[in-house]
Structure 1
Amino acid sequence: MANKNFNPGLDYARELDQKDPLGSFRDRFYQLESDKIYMDGNSLGLASKDAEEALLDMFNVWKTEGILLWNTKGGYYFQYAREIGNRLAKLICAGENEVIVTGNTTINVHQMIGTFWRPTKERYKILVDDLNFPTDRYAVDSQVELKGMKVEDVVKVVKSRDGIFINEDDVIEAMTDDVAVILLPSVLYRSSQLVDMERVTKEAHKRGIYIGWDLCHSIGCVEHDFEKIDPDFAIWCNYKYLSGGPGATAGLYVNKKHFGKPVGLAGWFGNRDETQFQLRHKFDQAPDAIAWQTGTPSHFAMAPLNGVLNIYDEAGLKNVREKSLNLTAYLMYLIDTTLLEYGYSYNNPTDDTKRGGHVSLVHNEAYRICLALKDHNVIPDYREPNVIRLAPIALYNSYEDAYKLVEALKTIGENKEWEKYSAERAMVM
């Protein structure tokens, strides 16, 4: 699918902003000082006024109620993770109590692999790809080693043909009779490829294989219909597109057909409500996704997410997705018409049905260009070996932001400004 028809010039960008039905939501988010252009919302979303209000409200409940907060508002705060989970479920078309806010991404991978991977002599392999974010693989390998098995014997890796994209045909071909569980990303964090989740899930289920998805780089940006996709489980973080705050409690989905399946990691907040405070030493598993909670949830790490979901309720994920696709298409148009002569290109899909929410800008001097961009008041995101991830977020980035970003990249390219910077890698970039 070709990029949409756009026009050049700053006036055109401003015209798009004037017509933007989501433009007013920008004022609900705190912009960075000095009018910095923030293009890193796919790593950490900006703070919103709604998130701030929700966090302060939570602090006030603690301040005024103390331990009594568990019984305030009919047990609302005792069930806080469930309440927010059911709000999140609407973003992926999941059913009631299929989503719980708990843990972090890595712990939730451990939890799901520990639950769904019960190796037998015939089925014992875990199928993964070689492009997913490393933490998923660390957790998978750790689970294998905890069972006294060898990673090289158990973990089956589908290798990318080009180091950029996953080929769904290769994944399906790798679904042999010895595969028990599959874990894949919905959107690749480097290239922004949106995998055909429905097709891959159906093929896994035809072969009796459990399959789960990492939604870290899609939730809050891409529309998912879990009623149609019907995966067995999913995990994700809530601090990227969803702007739940640094270290926000993560999300976990378990298909209702697996309710009652013994959890991989049991903890007291996964116990049935009615017997939880009887403090028995035998786990009485909750009857739904609540069972996959472990320890006491962090309300301060959940409250900002609860606040920002008000914005999603008002804006509508369908509208967010539409603007996200248009913003990234516009950014690609500007790259094609302005930057190619300076050695820039991109390696993300142009097809709307196959692209997540960011553009993967490629340049041989990507790292040093990122440093130069920061001196142009642009906050990008770098990924080895040569990718500048640019994520114009639908709720708070403008078309003018995209235009000014490209103008900065053009200036850097014209003057080879990257030569002023060291190529030595910083700890965080």
Structure 2
Amino acid sequence: METMTLAYARTLDEQDGLAAYKEEFYLLPHAIYMDGNSLGLLSKRAERTLHALLDSWKTLGIDGWTEGGHPWFYLSEQVGAKMAPLVGGKPEETVATGSTTTNLHQLVSTFYKPAGKKTKILADELNFPSDIYALQSQLRLKGYDPDVHLIRVKSPDGRMLREEDIIAAMTEEVALVVLPAVLYRSGQILDMEKLMKAAHERSIPIGFDLCHSVGSVEHALHEWGTDFAFWCTYKHLNGGPGSVGGLFIHEKHFGTLPGLAGWFGSKKESQFDMEHTMDPAEHAGAFQIGTPHVLSLAPLLGSLTLFEEVGMPAIRQKSLQLTSYMLELIRHELAPYEFTIGNPTDNSRGGHVLLEHAEAARICKALKKDGVIPDFRAPNGIRLAPVALYNSFEDVWHTVQKLKVIMEEKQYEQFENKRGVVA
């Protein structure tokens, strides 16, 4: 079949309007990087803006807060405005601050208001553990037993969730709904608009974790009326390890006091009045807790210019093309080797492919030895993320071919079927 050949993959690359953006990134030497849904690669633009912010510290000292090309005092709002188009929010609805989990704590502290029989938080059993830990913690702080008051909607197959099951669980006892936009393991995209409408029909506030969707999947949070959202920036947004998170607050909630108040949530013009009564900002900036992490925000200034140039529709289109091609190759080349495709095969998948195999940990180690960087997820998951901005169709072809040889020659047998400290 022509589509199975390297020549065909190279033809797809020749037709790719985003192919040139691969040159914007520092690609790993002698390796194919398929782990951008865990940590995105460094772009040359992100490197430049990091150096620029370092230089402002070196040359301006404390005056860097209000002077220079990117005054630090306004940096969280500036970066937040750059992220707004990626989530379908207004600039004033979006701010770069904190981390995924601290932002979740902030938002739950703000929107979880148990009263009467409405005391429960609705989540799901497939969510990333950190979100569940935070929700359990918030329940305990309110004096509730998480085993009773945290509802985790069951998955019918351990991979996917059904929106109908989630909606059925939105009972009169539910005070808050927190769900992932894209499931971190299977890559399933939940129908956020449908879930949001169902929650609001029942007068339940709802928010979404966008960690595995931002920069990979299109959103319309403002248009949908979503109450809040939160995300990290070191995966598809390529902000660097531990880069500052983001949060969205719909403008209908402007004026709501943040559950966790901090000095940098103040109005800029009154922050240095040093009053003990907080005068919160009249936008998403009110939900900041601490001082901006300037050097962790800096790479995002450069990285986000790539998204401004390309636009999410083009990124999403190429992402779907890359994963579709990968799935086609997998079905054809790996059929004899007992792999299961664990992600949706229609367009309701995010930016990665999930392969399940009993020897997954060993296979991932064999892939790394052969120059492909995958991501292992216990107990049996291999995540492969061809990223639109820096992966090619040829990368996809070589990845599947290397995987085929590993299976044919049983190269994985030289490794222990056990994950590393960081999977």
Distance in 2 between residues matched to 1:396 and 1:46, nearest whole Å: 8
Contact 1:380/1:388 (CA < 8 Å) preserved in 2? yes
1-side partners of 2:249 and 2:46: how far apart? 26
- Contact 2:376 2:419 (C-alpha < 8 Å) held by counterparts: no
Flag the 1:277–1:6 CA change in 2: closer, same or farther, 3 A. farther
Matched to 1:410, the amino acid is K
For 1:411, the equivalent position in structure 2 comes to: 405
Which residue pairs with 2:419 in the alignment? 425
Q: What's the counterpart of residue 6 of structure 2?
A: 10
Contact 2:10–2:394 (CA under 8 A) maintained in structure 1: yes
2:24 maps to a residue whose letter is R
SS of 1:181 mapped into structure 2: strand
| Higher alpha-carbon deviation: 318-327 or 149-158 | 149-158
Residue identity matched to 1:215: L
Say if 1:270 and 1:290, in contact at 8 Å, map to a contact too.
yes
Is the partner of 2:39 in helix, strand or coil? coil
1:159-210 CA-to-partner distances (Å, cap 9, x unmatched) read 1111110110000001111111100000001101000000010000000000
Note the alpha carbon deviations across 1:234-287, whole angstroms, 9 max, x for none. 000000001000000000000110011111111100012222112122222111
Q: Pick from 74, 81, 86: which aligns with 1:91?
A: 86
Q: Pick which of 278-287 and 182-191 moved more.
A: 278-287
CA distance in 2, matches of 1:288, 1:48: 31
1:79 partner SS: helix
> TM-score, normalised to structure 2's length?
0.98
Between the aligned partners of 1:387 and 1:87, the Cα distance in structure 2 is 34
Residue 37 (structure 2) aligned to one of 19, 22, 42: 42
State the alpha-carbon separation in 2 of the partners of residues 159 and 218 from structure 1.
Answer: 22
Amino acid at match of 2:21: F
Alpha-carbon deviations, 1:85-107, whole Å to 9, x = none?
A: 01100112211310010000010
Aligned to 2:357: 363
Give the letter for the 1:124 counterpart.
T
Find the counterpart in structure 2 of residue 372 from structure 1.
366
Cα shift readout 1:193-229 (whole Å, capped 9, x = no counterpart): 0000000100000000000000000000101112332
Q: SS at 2:179's partner residue?
A: strand
Cα separation, 2, equivalents of 1:407 and 1:75: 46
SS in 2 for 1:7: helix
The code of the aligned residue for 2:3 comes to N
Please report how far the alpha carbon of residue 75 of structure 1 lies from its aligned counterpart in structure 2 after TM superposition: 7.9
For 1:37 and 1:300, the matched residues in 2 are separated by 28
Matches within 5 A, 1:314-353: 314-352=309-347
Code of the aligned partner of 1:132: N
Per the alignment, in what secondary structure is the counterpart of residue 50 of structure 2?
Answer: helix
| 168-177 vs 343-352, greater mean Cα deviation | 343-352
Q: How does 1:243-254 map to 2 (within 5 A)?
A: 243-254=238-249
Kept after mapping to 1: 8 A contact 2:267/2:279: yes
Q: Distance in 2 between matches of 1:53 and 1:221?
A: 23
**Counterpart-to-counterpart distance in 2, 1:84 and 1:426:** 34
Q: In the alignment, which residue of structure 1 is the partner of 2:54?
A: 59
Counterparts of 1:178 and 1:362, CA distance in 2:
37
1:6–1:298 distance in 2 versus 1, CA, 3 Å: farther
Q: 1:162 aligns with which of 157, 161, 166?
A: 157
Contact persistence 1:6–1:333 (CA under 8 A): no
Q: Which residue matches 2:101?
A: 106
- What SS is found at the alignment partner of 2:318? helix
Unaligned runs of 5+ in 2: none
Which amino acid in structure 2 is aligned with residue 262 of structure 1? L
Counterpart AA for 1:159: K
State how far apart, in whole Å, the 1-side matches of 2:70 and 2:383 are.
42
Code of the aligned partner of 2:54: F
1:219 and 2:188 equivalent? no
CA contact (8 A) 1:198 1:228 kept: no
Partners of 1:145 and 1:271 in 2: how far apart?
Answer: 28
Distance 1:234 1:51 in 2: 24
- CA apart distance, 1:142: 0.4
Specify the code of the residue in structure 2 equivalent to 1:11.
Answer: A
| Aligned positions of 1:194-233 closer than 5 A | 194-233=189-228
Partners of 2:64 and 2:419 lie apart in 1 by 46
Distance 1:311 1:267 in 2: 32
The one-letter code sitting in structure 1 at the alignment partner of 2:390 is: Y
What's the TM-score once normalised by structure 1's chain length?
0.97
State the shift of 1:116 in Å: 0.1
Q: Structure 1 segments of 4 or more deviating over 6 A?
A: none
User: Is the 1:91–1:223 contact (alpha carbons within 8 Å) kept by the matching residues of 2?
Assistant: yes
- Residue 29 in structure 1 maps to residue 25 in structure 2: yes
**Given that residues 335 and 345 in structure 1 are in contact (C-alpha distance below 8 angstroms), is that contact kept between their aligned partners in structure 2?**
no
Aligned residues: CA RMSD: 1.3
In structure 1, stretches of 5+ residues that fail to align are none
Q: Give secondary structure in 1 for the equivalent of 2:255.
A: coil
The residue number in structure 1 matching 2:382 is: 388
Work out the CA distance in 1 between the residues paired with 2:69 and 2:393.
45
- CA positional deviation for 1:385: 1.2
Aligned equivalents of 2:354 and 2:2: distance in 1? 20
Within 1, Cα distance between the matches of 2:366 and 2:301? 36
Q: State which drifts further: 195-204 or 71-80.
A: 71-80
Query: 1-side partners of 2:397 and 2:94: how far apart?
Result: 38
- In 2, the alpha carbon distance for the partners of 1:6 and 1:159 equals 42
Of 400-409 and 308-317, the range deviating more from structure 2: 308-317
Asked whether 1:234 is paired with 2:229, we answer yes
Aligned letter for 2:369?
D
